[in-house]
Structure 1
């Protein structure tokens, strides 16, 4: 039986035009990166907002513009870690339709664990294995050196994903460390509502995917989407925040499950159909 999870955000009357306008702004930021690579944090933030806006305007992602917004956000997120991963030289990054030669800028405060997670999940959603592998090679020490008072749970969770995709040893032990460090009594830097409603559910979903728990995955996905919605509707300010439109972590885990032939008996604007099923894959170079 298919379960439905509604979204709380209501699209504005000009939602598509608004989203397309944001994408045009992102394109302008991207065009400036070769001269101003230190602005990549601004470009990435704008790309994420544009993607969220497209998801509100186009809940199933059946517009090509929505897929392009996802791809662009993924490309900028990956480039952010490419330009901050060395101290000199340039890196070649394909972003928004063409290859760009970006000067490296060394470790920056914005090359942090939170941006790594969103960038990696975007690569999973876009099925970009090369970028996934490149992100998995980012040392945890560099992420720990960036800004943000992240709990150990976050770094254990990143380590789990890097270990799984790079086929490194110790996945089971690292999973256990991630689960143990996700206890609210341990992860004290993360607000409890964010830990339980946003941070923990993707880890739980990942566990069911790698353990091939097909029957357990569906209910866990429903719970993850409901927890996401509960977190983003806790107060009036959050309820209108566009950042709550698209849960990248649960969506990425659902994409993994879909590609693993799991039955996805959930329908929700939080899981845009054509992102989940990679319906636009191959439409243009990524």
Structure 2
């Protein structure tokens, strides 16, 4: 089954340019979604056309469906978001460990929920919580401290960029949330 996700920031007349997301590429889809929001790169979004053969926890499929519904402005957004929230809990984890689900996977989902409600205070509280949990997860032991994935909170950064680009004030500062990416400081400097 192939679903489509329109590119972010593409001109209205270019909305026909969509990215196929293969059913088995959920993990890759999430990674590319986050990367594309952080870089705002059409090239990154176009590179999403890659099939991936792994099996993930059920929340990931609901989360990808949520993001697709969001971008396509489908009426089923609420249904998928509620399902993602309900499934993204440590007790439901089968592939990831519960700590990773609670501290890294769930916070961006909750941020999107607050963003969609237009809840500035709740959004910023959920962003601060996401960054705190990110830090807790990636500094829990010496081995994790050495892993590059912990340097930037990619998922929270993606949702924060989305919110800021759409007028929701982002009032949280952190080393895990690069200001230059959040403020579009590089725009025009990179041919994407």
Same-fold status (TM-score > 0.5): yes
The one of 199, 204, 216 equivalent to 2:105 is 199
Say whether the 8 Å CA contact 1:124–1:132 is kept in structure 2: no
- The verdict on how the C-alpha distance between 1:164 and 1:130 changes in structure 2, with shifts beyond 3 A counting, is farther
Residues 99-155 of structure 1 deviation map (CA, whole Å, 9 limit, x = unaligned): xxxxxxxx8xxx7322221111111122246865885xx6xxx86xx3333011001
Report deviation, 1:230. Answer: 0.5
Residue of structure 1 equivalent to 2:180: 274
* Bigger Rg over Cα: 1
CA distance in 2, matches of 1:277, 1:233: 26
The two structures have a TM-score, normalised by structure 2, of 0.80
Deviation sequence 1:164-201 (CA, Å, 0-9, x none)? 00122211111111111113222332200100111111
Unaligned runs of 5+ in 2: 1-18
Q: 1:178 to 1:133 in 2, by over 3 A?
A: farther
**TM-score, scaled relative to structure 1:** 0.55
Please tell me whether residue 223 in structure 1 is matched to residue 129 in structure 2.
Answer: yes
* Pairs aligned (count): 173
Q: Deviations over 1:229-275 (max 9, x none)?
A: 10111111001222210111000011011112222221111111110
Does the 8 A contact of 1:245 with 1:270 survive in 2?
Answer: yes
Extract unaligned runs of 5+ from structure 1. Answer: 1-81, 86-106
Q: Cα distance, 1:158 vs. partner?
A: 0.6
> What is the CA–CA distance in structure 1 between the aligned matches of 2:127 and 2:160, rounded to whole Å?
8
- Counterparts of 1:116-131 in structure 2 under 5 Å? 116-128=29-41
Q: Secondary structure at the match of 2:144?
A: helix
Q: RMSD across aligned C-alpha pairs, in angstroms?
A: 2.5
